[in-house]
A = this chain, B = another copy of it.
Amino acid sequence: MQREIRPLGRPRQDHQDKPTKAVILDVATQLFLDKGYQVVSMDDVAKKCGVTKATVYYYYKTKSDLFTDAMVQMMLRIKKRIFDILSTEKPLKDRLFEFAKAHLQATFDMDINGFMKEAKASLSNEQLQQMKQAEDKMYEVLEQALTASMEKGEIPRGYPKLGAHAFVALLTVGNFKDAEHKPIFLSLDEMTEQIVDFYWNGIGN
């Protein structure tokens, strides 16, 4: 976890290392996703990066800045991933299946709402806005894929925005575990299939 102990001053340029700022962002993203905004301290981030708190502050002026950047970058990456999966020429249902599977494997809940509520008190309006916009863009990619399929007659006409949100919402079902830690379906494949089937019916097929 800890890289080596670092001497004062500028470190000799070690060109293999990821730049510190990137390390911090990655570690922060992971920690925030894992535990939420409030629970993660700047010291936690720093320690896991093998640097001091002051170094983190060298790159990010406040904790909320770090959080906002982490979340926005993450949503951009997800948007890209969704886009890549949905851009192929396969039938929509197959693409949705792939997307669902990829998402469910990644384990984490794309529970942006929950995050936002928790962090709300600590974020500036501008920061909230930035995050909201990144979130919107994520959904838009999915929405556009649905719209395209509707136009091609692949699925019945309907509300693509509802469709996009419904799909993501249904995915969260895949992460549910009951008090005995049992998920709804035992295998990931079955889980995915059932969710996509459900969705496929939902949009009117």
Contacts and interface: CB of A to CB of B under 8 A. Distances in A.
Interface of A: 35-36, 38-39, 109, 111, 113-115, 117-118, 120-122, 129, 132-133, 135-136, 159, 161-162, 165-166, 169-170, 172-173, 175-176, 178-179, 184-185, 194-195, 198-199, 201-204
Contacts of A173: 162, 165-166, 169
B113 A115 contact: no
Main secondary structure on chain A at its contact with chain B? helix
A120 B111 CA distance: 16
A83 to B, nearest CB: 19
A136 B203 contact: no
A109 B113 contact: yes
Contacts of A109: 113-114, 117
Given A159-B185, A162-B184, 16 more contacts: A35-B117, A35-B118, A36-B117, A38-B38, A38-B39, A39-B118, A109-B114, A113-B172, A113-B175, A114-B117, A114-B118, A132-B178, A159-B184, A166-B198, A172-B172, A199-B202
29 contacts: A35-B117, A35-B121, A36-B36, A36-B38, A38-B38, A39-B118, A39-B122, A111-B117, A113-B114, A113-B175, A113-B176, A114-B114, A114-B115, A114-B118, A129-B179, A132-B179, A133-B179, A136-B179, A162-B184, A162-B185, A165-B176, A166-B170, A166-B173, A166-B195, A169-B170, A169-B173, A172-B172, A199-B202, A201-B203
A65 to B, nearest CB: 18
A113 B113 contact: no
A169 B172 CA distance: 7
A121, A135, A162, A175 — most chain B CB neighbours (10 Å): A162
Nearest to A171: B169
